[in-house]
Amino acid sequence: ECFECHPECERIEGGVTCNGSGADTCTRCAHYRDGPHCV
């Protein structure tokens, strides 16, 4: 299944960037994490 990751997720080449489209489903954040959400 393919879906677009939230823009605040850090892109991981060759790995899993996220497991959903929300800011709380990122593997790693591009900037900062506020609780479960990337901001």
User: Would you say the C-alpha torsion 34, 4, 25, 16 has a positive or negative sign?
Assistant: negative
* pLDDT beyond 80 at 1: no
Reported as a single tens digit per residue, the pLDDT across 2-23 is: 789 999 999 999 999 999 999 9
Number of separate domains in the chain: 1
Structural domain boundaries, residue 14: 1-39
- pTM beyond 0.75: the answer is yes
CATH number of the domain within which 30 lies: 2.10.220.10
> What is the pLDDT, as a whole number, of residue 29?
98
Query: What distance lies between CA 36 and its chain's CA centroid?
Result: 11
CA–CA distance, 2 with 38 (Å, rounded to integer)? 20
